[in-house]
Amino acid sequence: MKKDRYIYPVIFDDDSDGISVEFPDLPGCFTCGDTEEEALQMAKEALALHLYGLEQENEVIPEPSKLSDIPYKNNKTVVFIEVWMPTFRHEMEA
């Protein structure tokens, strides 16, 4: 079932060559950015695109993990990213 709003945890890994972004609940959903702002924007776009693809293929959309269930190490930060799908779907289908 499609939702209008999704919120998923994302791991930001800050390294000397930029910030990599990984969604632990969504295998294959990765992106990166040179700055925190760019990495955050890229994360939102990657999340929306990945979820849109799952919706289009009628795939099961996994439930997001709880913050306490996500293991992470130094140089990594876990935050939650929210996407509003009606706007994204409209852009993709226009």
Report pLDDT for 79. Answer: 92
| SS3 of 20-57 | EEECCCCCCCEEEECCHHHHHHHHHHHHHHHHHHHHHC
Q: What is the mean pLDDT of each run of 10 residues along the chain (94 residues)?
A: 93 93 96 96 98 96 92 84 96 92
DSSP 68: G
Report pLDDT for 68. Answer: 87
Six-digit token string for 4: 């209008």
Distance CA 64, CA 10 (A): 10
Report pLDDT for 1. Answer: 73
Distance CA 8, CA 84 (A): 12
Report pLDDT for 16. Answer: 87
